[in-house]
Structure 1
Amino acid sequence: MASTHRVAVIQWQIKELDPEYNHKTACSYIREAAAQGAELAVLPEYHLSGMVPTDPRWAVQAGETPQYLSSYQALAKELQVCIVPGTVIERHAAPSQKEIFYNTAYFISNDGTVLGSYRKKNIWHPERPHLTSSGPEHHVAIDTPIGRVGLLICWDVAFPEAFRELIADGAQIVIAPTYWTPHDGSSEIRAYNPDCEGLFLESTITSRCFENTCAVVFANAAGPSEDFLGLSQITLPVVGPVAKMGTEEGFIVADLDMAVVEAAERNYKVREDLKKEDWHYVYRHTQR
């Protein structure tokens, strides 16, 4: 049976290499969102330290990730709200003894339990010298208090295959923490359209909702419009964004009506086709 969930997306101008400030800011917004009835709060990608891997402090701060994750678990339990704390950078020792870094998103339940995590698979080109992809690992959906959820991160949104694999595993809501700016467009393509990256996000997020009969919860960084896109939003098929921000700092809370997702599926029958034994692509929808 369809249900409605109160969801918050949070965005602010992340201070590079200042995890204490960013964590405090995030917790304050989460508390405010919970006071407005939010059942889920989602933060942006790189929300603790930003993406500045050439600074030695960035690697040091990546080793401090567990303490912040524990803090979010305690906050989730206290407020009885689910939290996706954007993404955090995790430092790992590889067999070669060379340290590697993953960009990881977690889903924390409203009782403080970590229900699942996801390491970014599609690494944006400038990130590739510094981050390690999850590679061939499958995209796996997670059972949560708000339904079956899939996690993606930023540039993953560009790949319909990522969505399809999550939908094939039963996800009805896809959550995407992001740090996407106007400068992700080269000077060459921005000469054609200075707002090409905003157009990319606006059109792609809604398209993914339609073509997968799913909801998308998208949280981006915010700040001055010359450097940030914002556009954090809660989007459904059929109706598009039910709530959307500009480049301002803050948060929005909106109702995510899953009856719309069910109506879209009855009309478009995407999941029904994915379940067919003679489905002509290699992925299948699991029986959920």
Structure 2
Amino acid sequence: MTLHQHSTQTFGAVSANFGRDLEQNLRRIGHLVEDARARGTSLLALPEACLGGYLSVLGSGRDGTHGDRPDSLPPVLDVGGVELARVAAIAREMTLVVGFCEADGGRRFNSAAVVTGEGVIGVHRKVHQPLGENLYYEAGETMRAFETPVGRLGALICYDKAFPESARALALDGAEVIACISAWPASRTATAGELAQDRWKQRFDIFDQARALENQVVWVAANQAGTFGSLRFVGSAKVVGPGGEVLAATGTGEGVAYARVDVGEVLHTARRSMFHLGDRRPDLYREPVTLDA
């Protein structure tokens, strides 16, 4: 696999709260980008649903039941619409990853757009749906990386990170950097007194480091923070190197994790002796029999 040539770049991962008010969301994105630009940032990942907010509750999941209904659903946006055009105008020379509820005919998708000043480069539709999310969104059906000014970039959304195949598919498609944007909540059972000790927060962190390490990529993880409806988010935005090392992190509060990375150099260093993608044995891998729910 040929790596792109890079110079050192600054990547940012946002931990912040975004609700239903689109104008407020766009203003906040503008402020975050302005601060990131002053730091020389090339890539800024914003949370899942940063344009219009996430669902206000999550249900019990696999059987399709929901304890209660969201007070309101996120606004539906077109990829070619005015909101993402405004994000592009904010982005200018930077590359942004933003979450939104995408309209496609009569269908709704939980999506991540990769945006520069030139417009939308690509869109990832969330594939894996937790806790009754399928009641409100269709599932995405593709995993692919995009050519961007910061290199070949893949995007994932939240629960996608729990599946090794997701990040692996992007890495095999040449992704050098993967931005995983989330609205990852704390556990609603066996809740911890301190958010930093929450078991779902700990899983969030483990997934981030494991996905970076097993694919030897740079991993940029954004997340919602604070609360929305009945959900309490764990924050914990971070940038992780290809050896699984956390290069920068926000902790559970709001903030931006910034890290300076020479992607070509760190990937070359990580892969020069043990190249996980090249050492695979796909001829031996088998899908197991279908498991009962």
Correspondence for 1:286: none
Q: Which residue of 45, 49, 53 maps to 2:48? A: 45
Correspondence for 1:249: 254
1:238 Cα shift? 2.4
Correspondence for 2:232: 227
Identity, % of aligned positions: 27
Residue deviations 1:29-50 (CA, integer Å, cap 9, x gap) = 1111111100111110011222
Residues 92 and 197 from structure 1, CA distance in 2 versus in 1: closer, same or farther, beyond 3 angstroms? same
**2:24 maps to 1:24:** no
Report if the CA contact (8 A) 1:157-1:205 is conserved.
yes
1:211 Cα shift? 0.7
Q: TM-score, normalised by structure 1?
A: 0.83
Q: Which residue of 192, 195, 199 maps to 1:196? A: 199
Correspondence for 2:189: 187
The equivalences for 1:33-112 within 5 A come to 33-52=36-55, 54=69, 58=73, 61-63=75-77, 66-77=81-92, 80-85=93-98, 87-93=99-105, 99-109=106-116, 111-112=117-118
Q: Which runs of 5+ in 2 are unaligned?
A: 57-68, 288-293
Q: TM-score, normalised by structure 2?
A: 0.81
1:150 Cα shift? 0.8
The DSSP-based 3-state class of the residue aligned with 1:128 is helix
1:3 Cα shift? 3.4
1:255 Cα shift? 0.6
More displaced stretch, 64-73 vs 123-132: 64-73
Correspondence for 1:154: 158
Q: Which residue of 6, 9, 14 maps to 1:10? A: 14
Q: Which structure carries more helix by proportion?
A: 1
Residues 190 and 161 from structure 1, CA distance in 2 versus in 1: closer, same or farther, beyond 3 angstroms? farther
1:126 Cα shift? 2.6
Report if the CA contact (8 A) 2:78-2:104 is conserved.
no
Q: Return the letter of the residue paired with 1:107.
A: V
The equivalences for 1:112-191 within 5 A come to 112-134=118-140, 137-182=141-186, 185-187=187-189
Distance 1:209 1:119 in 2: 21
Q: Return the letter of the residue paired with 2:217.
A: C
Distance 2:244 2:197 in 1: 27
Residue deviations 1:189-212 (CA, integer Å, cap 9, x gap) = 879x96111110111111111111
1:120 Cα shift? 0.6
Distance 2:38 2:173 in 1: 33
Distance 1:40 1:2 in 2: 13
Correspondence for 1:96: none
What RMSD in Å do the two structures reach over aligned CA positions? 2.6
Distance 2:175 2:160 in 1: 16
Residue deviations 1:161-194 (CA, integer Å, cap 9, x gap) = 0111111111111111100010xx3526879x96
Distance 1:75 1:144 in 2: 17
Distance 2:100 2:38 in 1: 25
